[in-house]
């Protein structure tokens, strides 16, 4: 088989995977605190033989290796005026309890559940001092340091932590992250301010993602045409050889 078809097939699969990533980003363009995914491709050789060798070694087909990454850049912060909308001005994450353990998020559209606990939109407990935050009272406010005041009385501190850069985190949901190393130790998010009545949006730029989606679609179509051409060339070669 002509080794060129390997590159065409690999390029087509890469374009499909890129489209999947872009589609997921676009689906979360309005998800608060969402961090977009990025996919990068590197060419690799599938065999040790090099082109142009005189020892009979076959030329190595060029394939594509995919590398995924999360873009942790800050999304646009907008004012909402809602008491339990919290945004972080700076680095770091809120800490939440999930059935699998602690997770970290910048999704600040919080609420109070039936038990008086401060929870995320998905119902996960928000932690303060390592424990769930329970609110008993009608008037609640947070200062820039994350201190919580209920009826004007200081009643706790919402946890805001950070990790060394570059972040070694993976997604555990649309806006939740967990360390790749289970025993990774978080640190205080120095200089980060809590902004009550504000909400950080997704860092997805819809126009930019659409442009990339169009590019990926055209790339996939080009690879499909190459595959068809190689197939036609192979069929023609077989037919011609059969006449000799």
Mean pLDDT value of segment 6-22: 77
For the entire predicted model, the pTM comes to: 0.78
**Residue 54's pLDDT is what?**
47
Split into its structural domains, the chain has a count of 2
Residues 147 and 164 in one domain: yes
What is the rounded average pLDDT for all residues in the chain?
84
Tell me the DSSP string of 191-244: T-EEEETEEE-----HHHHHHHHHHHHHHHHHHHHHHHHHHHHHHHHHHHHHH-
Residues 196 and 223 in one domain: no
Residues 92 and 192 in one domain: yes
3 state DSSP class of 50 = coil
Judge whether 202 and 34 are in contact, CB under 8 Å. Answer: yes
How many other CB atoms sit within 10 Å of the CB of residue 193?
Answer: 15
For 36-62, what is each residue's pLDDT tens digit? 999 877 655 555 444 444 444 455 555
- Whether residue 23 is predicted with pLDDT greater than 60 in this model: the reply is yes
Which residues span the domain enclosing 64? 4-73+204-243
Judge whether 85 and 197 are in contact, CB under 8 Å. Answer: yes
Mean pLDDT value of segment 76-95: 96
Q: Is the dihedral of CA 203, 207, 210, 215 positive or negative?
A: negative
Residues 104 and 9 in one domain: no
**Residue 17's pLDDT is what?**
84
Residues 211 and 193 in one domain: no
Residues 103 and 168 in one domain: yes
What's the rounded Cα separation, in Å, for the pair 179 and 70?
A: 13
């Amino acid at each position: 088989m002509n080794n060129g078809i390997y590159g065409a097939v690999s390029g087509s699969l890469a374009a499909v995977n890129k489209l999947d990533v872009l589609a997921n980003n676009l689906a979360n363009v309005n998800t608060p605190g969402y961090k977009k995914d990025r996919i990068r491709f590197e060419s690799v050789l599938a065999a040790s033989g090099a082109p142009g060798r005189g020892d009979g070694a076959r030329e190595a087909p060029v394939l594509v290796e995919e590398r995924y990454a999360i873009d942790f850049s800050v999304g646009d912060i907008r004012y909402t005026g809602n008491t339990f909308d919290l945004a972080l001005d700076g680095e770091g994450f809120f800490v939440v309890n999930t059935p699998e353990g602690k997770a970290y998020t910048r999704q600040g559209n919080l609420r109070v559940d039936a038990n008086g606990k401060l929870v995320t939109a998905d119902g996960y407990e928000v932690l303060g001092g390592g424990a769930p935050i329970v609110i008993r009272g009608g008037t609640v406010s947070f200062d820039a340091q994350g201190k919580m005041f209920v009826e004007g009385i200081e009643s706790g501190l919402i946890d805001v932590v950070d990790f060394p850069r570059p972040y070694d985190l993976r997604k555990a949901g649309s806006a939740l992250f967990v360390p790749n190393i289970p025993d990774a130790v978080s640190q205080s998010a120095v200089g980060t301010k809590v902004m009550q009545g504000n909400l950080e949006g997704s860092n997805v730029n819809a126009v930019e993602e659409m442009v990339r989606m169009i590019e990926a679609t055209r790339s996939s179509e080009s690879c499909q045409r190459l595959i068809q051409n190689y197939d036609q060339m192979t069929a023609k070669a077989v037919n011609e050889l059969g006449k000799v």
